[in-house]
């Protein structure tokens, strides 16, 4: 692992404080150096014109220049088309991936205006495409609600594209303008006649900005599917024309490799059912609400909510504002949770499910097994953070609370059987929560009482600094013994586990904490578990899962990752969880020892060692081996027969002695580790649910779909 550099104070601040006589004091109290102050003049002030700021600091506008930023270019252009649809002017949006890393987005909206703009003296089309903060969404009544990343939209895409073309159909005429890195190649010109109205934008990202130019088909598909759910009644088509398939009938023309069309009359209710596709619904009727609320000053907020309970114990809540996903929630999600908890409690008391005031259901109780989508559309949304992860409008909370409070009450009265099932599930969650609290308190109290007397099987490290300490979770006592002998006890702790831990995907907390292995791990980490988990108290900043490189080892690793994802997720978000990569083979010829981490790497090493031997043979024999088409197979067959050459296949970590385990898997200077990260929490949740849940059919389908991607299967 790379060593962390020590933090040092900036040299200029240190100098200013220690040598104030040579400085002048600014009116705000800071010291300014008198020396060389004449060198800072007007020529040092840079003014970036047009779209230059975007190319200079692209991360400020699209978040990053990695894959996320690359795909955000598509989202920005599509958002303009979706905004037209939300305003009621478009019914169809088509996205095409074209050869040469080009993307085309077409809609049948009103078309961007092309007449001369009064302020810029240029065509409105050119103004929108080449000027930051220019568009109909900054005022007027053209768009009552709008999405977009930071209100800069298509002009940013233009700035970060090597080439772009805008085509507009208005008034029976087709208008075209092309751009190169944000600058017009020519004026807006008429290119012929057309029918209807609409806009087509085609762009090619700039390779100078984006090093990785590979658009991910699945990622685009998922995003556009989501947008179709959120924009009821709008048809979104996506085609992948990067590679075309030659049809048998050549007269039929070329067909796209992949083509999908999304159209959902049910809107977010259909989205809830899609999210629950691998779950068993608890009640038949899914709840849905679609109402407009007056937020004052004549401004309306459209609130859409849908939910359904399942047999799962995890909650899935997805929220949006103006079709923008808000992964951290915000006021709209808070309003939904508050209203749902209050309404279910009121109904339960009214129908005598709850006898006492102290028996009230908590938010945690009513959200167990809940799958909900909350979508609002409002003018001038206030987002928190650069990437719009959280909505901050207070009026959004009031609007959602009002709609949910009224409509959930109506739903429960209309569907008493569903209401009974929902209340019953929440009350069962309440009992489990109280049992889990007792079990958790017992475990935490035990850990607190023992103080520094940590679990006996834990071989702790000497350091008490979490930043430099690491915990190896090792499979089995044999590997644990080697790890304890081979470790650097100054900063490396070893916790051996006996067998496979409990699958926590469908287990409640009280059952989990009855497992000795999980209880030991909780006490060793020292930061509690679940909602009581406190990242500041964690005892190790590197928690390394070290299991055998076989099927059983992979299963144990998956069980541990499920545990961390469900109950220690902040540790994953902070980058504290790792997976060790032990070698599969040890190859030795004389004093030359090599380790291979895959079969491919093993073959490469064998070839190198084989050639090292043959270099001593005659030239003819050497050339025969090197040139032979069967050389690779011959090497595989003969490698172990070479004098002084041996191959050892590690079936488990326990087969390594302490020195080998340190050298290959634990030494920070030579080891290979994979950091566990979550790019898409919703997708991670779905995968864990498929792989570790009760339903067999989704898991079978997943395995069949991804079987070909498995390169090495150790049975």
**CA distances to 275, 511, 704 from 505, in Å:** 17, 12, 22
Helix (H) or strand (E) holding 610: helix 599-614
Contacts of 148 (CB under 8 A, 6+ apart): 76, 79, 80, 83, 137
- Distance, in Å, from the CA atom of 108 to the CA atom of 94, rounded to the nearest integer, reads 9
- Distance, in Å, from the CA atom of 185 to the CA atom of 207, rounded to the nearest integer, reads 19
Q: Which of 474, 389, 402 is nearest to 654 (CA)?
A: 474
475 is catalytic: yes
- Distance, in Å, from the CA atom of 1 to the CA atom of 144, rounded to the nearest integer, reads 52
- Distance, in Å, from the CA atom of 226 to the CA atom of 275, rounded to the nearest integer, reads 11
CA 580 and chain centroid, separation = 22
In 3-state terms, what secondary structure has residue 611?
helix
Q: Which of 49, 94, 64, 46 is nearest to 160 (CA)?
A: 64
CA end-to-end distance (rounded Å), the chain: 32
- Distance, in Å, from the CA atom of 10 to the CA atom of 480, rounded to the nearest integer, reads 45
Residue spans of alpha helices (H) in 451-576: 477-486, 509-512, 516-525, 551-567, 569-573
Percent of residues in the chain assigned helix, strand, coil, to nearest 5: 40, 20, 35
37: left (phi over 0), alpha (psi -120 to 50) or beta: alpha
- Distance, in Å, from the CA atom of 125 to the CA atom of 449, rounded to the nearest integer, reads 71
Q: Which residue has the tokens 């719009």?
A: 388
548 is catalytic: yes
DSSP 8-state secondary structure symbol assigned to residue 695: -
312 is catalytic: no
Asked whether the CA dihedral 627, 633, 636, 639 is positive or negative, the reply is negative
**Which is catalytic among the residues 68, 178, 222, 552?**
552
Interior angle at CA 687, CA 497 and CA 374, nearest 5 = 125
395 is catalytic: no
Contacts of 627 (CB under 8 A, 6+ apart): none
**Which is catalytic among the residues 550, 601, 638, 685?**
550
Q: Write b or e for each residue in 40-79: b if 16 or more Cβ atoms lie within 10 A of its Cβ, otherwise e.
A: eeeeeeeeeeebebbbeebeebbbebebebbbbbbbbbbb
Q: Order across the sheet with 592-596: list the strands.
A: 592-596, 585-589, 645-649
Q: Which of 56, 199, 196, 48 is nearest to 129 (CA)?
A: 199
**Which is catalytic among the residues 167, 418, 517, 548?**
548
CA 173 and chain centroid, separation = 43
**Which is catalytic among the residues 107, 365, 418, 475?**
475
Hey, what are 364's tokens?
A: 């945690």
Hey, what are 100's tokens?
A: 């040469």
- Distance, in Å, from the CA atom of 423 to the CA atom of 406, rounded to the nearest integer, reads 17
- Distance, in Å, from the CA atom of 650 to the CA atom of 549, rounded to the nearest integer, reads 8
Cβ–Cβ < 8 Å for 175, 190: yes
Residues assigned a catalytic role: 475, 548, 550, 552
């Amino acid at each position: 692992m790379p060593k962390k550099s020590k933090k040092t104070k900036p040299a200029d601040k240190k100098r200013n404080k220690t040598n104030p006589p040579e400085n002048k004091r600014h009116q705000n109290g800071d010291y300014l150096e008198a020396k060389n102050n004449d060198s800072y003049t007007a020529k040092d002030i840079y003014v970036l014109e047009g779209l230059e700021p975007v190319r200079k600091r692209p991360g400020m506008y699209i978040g990053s220049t990695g894959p996320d930023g690359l795909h955000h270019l598509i989202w920005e252009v599509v958002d303009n088309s979706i905004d037209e649809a939300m305003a009621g002017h478009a019914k169809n949006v088509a996205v095409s991936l074209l050869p040469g890393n080009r993307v085309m987005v077409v809609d049948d909206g009103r078309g961007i205006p092309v007449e001369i703009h009064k302020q810029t003296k240029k065509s409105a089309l050119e103004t929108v495409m080449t000027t930051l903060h220019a568009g109909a969404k900054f005022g007027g009544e053209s768009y009552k609600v709008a999405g977009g990343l930071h209100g800069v939209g298509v002009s940013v895409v233009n700035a970060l594209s090597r080439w772009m073309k805008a085509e507009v159909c208005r008034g029976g005429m087709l208008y075209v303008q092309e751009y190169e890195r944000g600058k017009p190649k020519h004026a807006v010109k008429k290119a012929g006649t057309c029918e209807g109205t609409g806009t087509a934008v085609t762009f090619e990202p700039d390779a100078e900005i984006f090093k990785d130019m590979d658009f991910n088909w699945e990622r685009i598909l998922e995003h556009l599917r989501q947008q179709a759910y959120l924009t009821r009644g709008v048809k979104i088509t996506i085609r992948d024309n990067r590679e075309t398939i030659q049809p048998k009938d050549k007269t039929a023309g070329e067909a796209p490799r992949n083509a999908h069309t999304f159209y959902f009359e049910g809107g977010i209710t259909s989205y809830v059912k899609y999210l629950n596709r691998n779950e068993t619904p608890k009640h038949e009727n899914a709840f849905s609400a679609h109402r407009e609320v007056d937020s004052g000053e004549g401004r309306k907020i459209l609130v859409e909510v849908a939910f359904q309970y399942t047999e799962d114990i995890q909650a899935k809540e997805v929220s949006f504002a103006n079709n923008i996903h808000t992964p951290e929630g915000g006021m709209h999600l808070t309003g939904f949770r508050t209203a749902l908890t209050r309404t279910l409690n009121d109904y339960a008391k009214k129908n005598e499910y709850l006898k006492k005031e102290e028996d009230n259901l908590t938010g945690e109780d009513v959200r167990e097994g809940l799958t909900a989508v909350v979508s609002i559309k409002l003018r001038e949304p206030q987002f928190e953070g650069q990437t719009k992860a959280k909505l901050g409008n207070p009026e959004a909370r009031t609007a959602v609370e009002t709609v949910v409070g009224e409509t959930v009450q109506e739903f429960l009265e209309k569907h008493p059987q569903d209401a009974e099932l929902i209340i019953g599930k929440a009350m069962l969650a309440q009992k489990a929560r109280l049992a889990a609290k007792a079990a958790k308190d017992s475990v935490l109290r035990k850990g607190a009482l023992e103080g520094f007397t940590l679990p006996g099987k834990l071989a702790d490290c000497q350091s008490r600094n979490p930043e430099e300490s690491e915990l190896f979770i090792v499979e089995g006592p044999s590997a644990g013994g080697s790890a304890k002998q081979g470790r650097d006890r100054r900063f490396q702790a070893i916790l051996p586990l006996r067998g496979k831990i409990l699958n926590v995907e469908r287990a409640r907390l009280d059952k989990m904490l009855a497992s000795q292995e999980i209880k030991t791990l909780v006490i060793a980490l020292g930061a509690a578990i679940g909602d009581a988990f406190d990242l500041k108290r964690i005892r190790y900043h590197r928690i390394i899962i070290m299991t055998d490189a076989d099927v059983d080892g992979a299963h144990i690793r998956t069980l541990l990752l499920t545990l961390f994802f469900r109950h220690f997720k902040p540790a994953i978000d902070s980058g504290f969880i790792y997976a060790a990569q032990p070698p599969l083979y040890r190859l030795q010829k004389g004093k030359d020892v090599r380790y291979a981490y895959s079969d491919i790497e093993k073959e490469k090493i064998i070839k190198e060692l084989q050639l090292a031997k043959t270099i001593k043979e005659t030239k003819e024999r050497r050339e025969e081996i090197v040139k032979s088409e069967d050389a690779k197979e011959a090497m595989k067959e003969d490698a172990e027969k070479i004098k002084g050459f041996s191959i050892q296949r590690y079936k488990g970590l326990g087969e390594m002695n302490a020195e080998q385990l340190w050298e290959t898997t634990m030494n920070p200077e030579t080891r290979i580790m994979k950091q566990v990260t979550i790019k898409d929490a919703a997708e991670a949740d779905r995968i864990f649910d498929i792989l570790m849940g009760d339903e067999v059919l989704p898991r079978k389908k997943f395995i069949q779909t991804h079987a070909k991607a498995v390169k090495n299967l150790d049975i």
